[in-house]
Structures are given as structure tokens and as C-alpha cells.
Amino acid sequence: MSSRVRSGLTLLAALGVGALIVAGSARLVERQQTAREISRLREELYRARVGSDRCRNSLVNSESSLQALGLTIDSLRSSVESFETLDGSGVPANQYPEYLVLFDSYNDSVEVWGGRERRLRAVEASCRATIQGHNALSDSLQRALQEAGIDAG
């Protein structure tokens, strides 16, 4: 074999080895990027889950509080109505101060209930966005894991 052919074969072998090294390095870099992306998504998902859980707990507590206030308002309304129906001509004069206290408490409670209901609706809208963000991150992580060939089950 001539030296020219040998140098050509050596050059081809070197180019082949170089191509394999470049391809292997590219694959390694791609795997590292995928691993970093999966780690980032997992960390974000964890933070989003904490926020989502806090929202859910806050909603449950707020709803329970609002329901309890509703029961109190119903009880106050019943008490006010019972004063008003004692006598066909209205609340007896000797019970009027007690009636006024109940009536004012009822009105104040209804006003408080309205404010709490508005806040609950605002928190609910905010939580909906937080939960949707969590779900979107979860979907992104699942896709990244599938694309990487990792079983997330």
C-alpha cells in the first residue's frame, strides 16, 4: 500500500473517530441539558404544589368560616323576626332596646358576610390561576420526562 493511500486511510479513520467524539459529546450535552430542565421543572412544580395546597386550605377555611357566619346570620334573622311577630302592632316597647341590639347585630353581620364573600371570590379566582399554573408545570414535566424516555409512573 502506498504511503498516500495509508495517509488517506489514516485521515479517514481520524475523521471517523472525530465524528464519533463530536456526536457523543453532542449527545452528552443534550442529556445534561435535559437533566437540568427536568430538575428545574421538578423544583418549580414543588413550589407550585406548596402554593396550590396553601390556596386550597385557605379556600376550605374561608368557605367554612363563611358558612358558619351564614348560620349565625340565619339565627339572628330568626331572633329579629320572632321579636317582630310577638305582637301584631310591632315590637313591644319594653323589649325594643333588646330588639335594636339584635337588629343592629344582624345588619352588621350581613355587611361582614358580603365583604367576606367578595374576598372569598377573589381568593378563589387567584387560587384557580395558581392551580392552573401548577397543572401546566406538571404537564410540562411529564412531557420532558417522556421525551427523555424516563418512566414517570
Residue 92 lies in a domain: yes
Residue 19 lies in a domain: yes
Residue 152 lies in a domain: no
Q: Specify the pTM.
A: 0.65
Q: Give CA separation, 29 vs 33, 38, 115, 117, in Å.
A: 6, 14, 55, 53
**Domain of 121?**
3-147
CA gyration radius, the chain: 35
CA distance 148 to 34: 7
Residue 82 lies in a domain: yes
Total domain count, the chain:
1
pLDDT digits (tens, 9 = 90+) for 31-89: 888 889 889 999 999 999 999 999 999 999 999 999 999 999 999 999 988 888 876 77
Check if the beta carbon of residue 104 is closer than 8 Å to that of residue 15: no
152 band by pLDDT with thresholds 50, 70 and 90: low
What integer pLDDT is reported at residue 57 of this predicted model? 92
Residue 133 lies in a domain: yes
Residue 21 lies in a domain: yes
pLDDT digits (tens, 9 = 90+) for 139-150: 999 998 888 888
Residue 153 lies in a domain: no
For cell 315590637, what's the residue?
Answer: 91
Residue 45 lies in a domain: yes
